[in-house]
A and B are shown apart, each in its own frame.
Chain A
């Protein structure tokens, strides 16, 4: 049996305001090594909030999140940033690449933050860009790449730090069919060949069809887990 990568217990997130909103309402789940999992549900169901908390970007109101056995809800801000740097890869809906850096530099940047040697950074960035089908585009800046290409650079960046898992928030929302298919093929291949764990928040059927585990969320609760 694969070892658990993420263990969530009784997770809650309440946004305070004139009318408090309970975005995540008592979710417990476990993600194991090598999963290719989709969190699906309508807009506003709480899947992005859950994903942000899994990534340590947002703090829960109650409950715990253990990643590789570490309860990230107890970490200080800097410790959490360092933890994200070494353990979690992110792919965002809007690519979110650094516009002034080339494709290769965007991928290398995260390794630079990890203080890895220059030779290692360059070699791994080349290898990852080749793996996502962007050989020859290393020196292009984000503005010179298509949306699909940018998202592939984002995937390469997410993998560059050798994370325990990758969280992808609506990664195909801005892509056309062909780019979506290419991106999903790449991520599926990385999942199968390198055992990388992927967790998607999506309502894109093309992503959901590829997922081997689908967790349906509605009103901040897990509706089904197949």
Chain B
């Protein structure tokens, strides 16, 4: 039966090649499209979450909703050793974050002020790699590192002074004058426009919050599942604290991803509708051309179910062939654009940046996408083949042999 199906495929080489090519290009387009979509989000989540905010954050209960310094937590109330011993936890990163009006000369802007210990930080905020001018602040000094976008807005350079004015812990005034030790390019565009980073102890002093933290970021081991770590960590923390994962921290990001994915899904669905009709056309032509032969085969004693199986096998060989070639051909493309993202420019760059996204298109190399689309093509093949099966099952051999 396999031999018969195989030879039937090549009885009309042109049509078979066109069918295989149609499936191949469909898979390539669909996989490339989804790879870019997933890749961009993967990169963005990786950038925002893994490198800057962490997959998990510990706060005093209620902090994330209020974002108030009054809901800070005392460093000494946390069981640091127990938390670090939870499987999947690589390190714990203390932070104090608040907002202040930052000004210099005529310019001022409301800014995110982040007190950190750079040596303990996530990769996106260690700052040494991100510095484009100057140097890192000295520990516990009155020095700050300003993000590139904010420095441009305030027209400050390394060595200039910045004035901070805000509200500290329990209504205390929070103000200070700091020297710009360095300017850093933060990869996340939103942060790059408004971030000022200073030593943790300096921030605690300015906000009158000595010994207090707003956030402990839980840095995870590579490949650790944040949901599993979260489940293990929650009992260690107790009820005075909240442990939020990145989806709870950034629900709008999750919604944006879902909306974008849905949009992409619609496009891919349309693509598959088109390819389905192309394939259906092929099957209709094949059935029409071979109706007489089907009649002969049934006449001489071939069961209709066997004949239907042969035609389904033919279609699946064409489809799987096209899908496998497509999946293989697209793989190097996925790898290339993962490591060589497309830099957007001009109006498109501006449009993307308006949404605080990095204007680069990355792909993902996840083979799941390829397999998914291969499976979709397989299902389409089965559905389209059902036309041939239906025609065969209601075939009248005498009428068919007259066709």
Contacts and interface: CB of A to CB of B under 8 A. Distances in A.
Interface of A: 52, 55, 57-58, 77-78, 81-82, 84-86, 90, 92, 96, 98-101, 109-110, 113-114, 157, 161
Contact of B298 (A52, A81, A114): A81
A92 B401 contact: yes
Of B298, B306, B398, chain A has the most CB atoms within 10 Å of the CB of B398
A98 B297 contact: yes
Contacts of B401: 92, 96
Contacts of A109: 4, 300
Contacts of B301: 81-82, 84-86, 110, 113-114, 161
B13 interface: no
A121 B300 CA distance: 16
A52 B296 contact: no
27 contacts: A52-B398, A58-B398, A78-B303, A78-B304, A81-B298, A81-B301, A81-B303, A81-B304, A84-B299, A84-B300, A84-B301, A85-B302, A90-B300, A92-B296, A96-B293, A96-B296, A96-B299, A98-B4, A98-B297, A99-B11, A99-B293, A100-B4, A100-B11, A101-B7, A109-B300, A113-B300, A113-B302
B39 interface: no
A133 to B, nearest CB: 22
B307 to A, nearest CB: 10
Interface string B270-304: 00000000000000000000001100111111111
B300 A101 contact: no
B398 A100 contact: no
B399 to A, nearest CB: 9
Given A52-B398, A92-B401, A57 B299 contact: yes
B8 interface: yes
A81 B398 contact: no
Given A98-B293, A109-B300, A113-B306, 7 more contacts: A55-B299, A81-B303, A82-B301, A96-B292, A99-B11, A100-B4, A100-B10
A90 B293 CA distance: 14
B397 interface: yes
Contact of A90 (B4, B10, B299, B302): B299
A85 B303 CA distance: 9
A96 B296 CA distance: 7
Contact of A81 (B7, B10, B296, B302): B302
A176 to B, nearest CB: 23
Contacts of B7: 100-101
A186 B10 CA distance: 34
Contacts of A85: 300-302
A109 B301 CA distance: 10
A147 B398 CA distance: 22
